Amino acid sequence: MVSAAQVAVEVDGLSKRYGTLEAVRSVSFAVERGEVFALLGPNGAGKTTTVEILEGFRSRDAGTVSVLGHDPSGRPRALRERLGIVLQELAVEPNLTVREVLTRNAGYYPSPRPVDEVIALVGLEGKASSRIARLSGGQQRRLDVGLGIIGRPELIFLDEPTTGFDPSARRGAWDLVRALQEGGTTIILTTHYMDEAEALADRVAVIARGQIVALGPPSSIGGRDVSEATIRFRMPPGVAASDLPVPARAIGEFAELTSADEIESLHRLTGWALERALPLTGLTVERLTLEDVYLRLTAGSDGAGSIGAPTEQLSASVGGRR
């Protein structure tokens, strides 16, 4: 159990409907202070609605929500002063400069970060006097992050913060998220990128069809840590699947087997091969990636329908990854 002071966000039985569409159905979770919490889910799964309710932008139909000890539905200014919000698209007056916008927004908060510090944190030193309209897409996103942290927030909502970033800008954004977390900031992140959730999040909630279908650390969510491993190798010359010491099946030139105890299976397999001086070229051992788990959990839901695959197909493709 965690005490109330350690909880940044607590959501219990949250529901929201638009007409006949149940966008969020009895969602419950808690986010601890200092935690990086990721919401994963296909478009239309309800993650944006959930976040917007937490931000106080949208009302809820049922359930209780506490954000930094406040009910966000009344949009208390005292709460808004402690939140940082980074939206997907930069929306700022185009004819103002980077410094002007940051200075203006700093004035909304009781104890903002110094403007120059924020400019340096998001790497816009050379662009401080440029008008927003003249920034590149990546620079605008960085300003967006700057606007999210200018008020020294205790809790930051990052809505797909690195969409459209090049790889080095992404790493930079990740470093910034980690630095904010080290400074004690709680972060709620929505993302489509599995590697991003894996690299940053302490815990991940997978949302599909308005419900949380899995919740846990990225390393163990969806049973990743206890799922069977897939062992794969090129079939040695002159060997049939029935000759192998493990129950493998032949897939083209390769042999593949799934095992709940891959140490034991590998030991038998490699011992057998050593005795006979047979090569096991292309040997790989893989567990479910976060993406596999995600696709399995969200299979059949809107938005994921085209890429969501049934479980059998998924497990067959597992060995082919990486």
Partner 1 sequence: MSGLALPSKRGTVVADVMMVGRQLRYEQLNFWRNRFGAVFTVGFSVIFLVMLAMSGATHRAAAIGNIALIQYYVPGFAAYGLMSACYNNLGISMVIRRETGLLKRLRLSPIPSWALVGAILANAAVISIVQVILLLLIGRYGYNVVLPHVWAPFVLAIAVGVVAFTALGAAVSTLVRSQESAGPIVSIIFFVLLFLSGLWFPLTPGSGLAKLANYFPIHHLILATAAPFDTAPGASPYAWHDLLVVAIWGAAGLIVAIRRFQWEPHRH
| Residues at the contact surface with partner 1, assessed by CB under 8 A | 55-58, 75, 77-78, 80-81, 83, 85, 87, 89, 91-96, 100, 104-105, 107-109, 131, 147, 151
How far apart, in whole angstroms, are the C-alpha atoms of residue 59 and residue 66?
13
How far apart, in whole angstroms, are the C-alpha atoms of residue 124 and residue 102?
12
- For partner 1, which is the closer residue by CB, 134 or 276? 134
In whole angstroms, the minimum distance from the beta carbon of 44 to partner 1 comes to 9
- For partner 1, which is the closer residue by CB, 189 or 297? 189
In whole angstroms, the minimum distance from the beta carbon of 82 to partner 1 comes to 9
In whole angstroms, the minimum distance from the beta carbon of 23 to partner 1 comes to 12
**For 22-27, which contacts have Cβ atoms below 8 Å and span 24 or more sequence positions?**
22/210, 23/49, 23/210, 24/49, 24/50, 24/53, 24/60, 24/210, 25/209, 25/210, 25/211, 26/62, 26/63, 26/211, 27/63, 27/207, 27/210, 27/211, 27/212
- For partner 1, which is the closer residue by CB, 147 or 177? 147
- For partner 1, which is the closer residue by CB, 55 or 154? 55
Rounded to the nearest 5°, which phi and psi values hold at 153? -70, 150
- For partner 1, which is the closer residue by CB, 92 or 273? 92
In whole angstroms, the minimum distance from the beta carbon of 310 to partner 1 comes to 30
In whole angstroms, the minimum distance from the beta carbon of 158 to partner 1 comes to 13
CB 206 within 8 A of CB 214: yes
Residue among 187, 175, 213 at smallest CA distance from 40: 213
How far apart, in whole angstroms, are the C-alpha atoms of residue 122 and residue 99?
12
In whole angstroms, the minimum distance from the beta carbon of 106 to partner 1 comes to 11
- For partner 1, which is the closer residue by CB, 80 or 268? 80
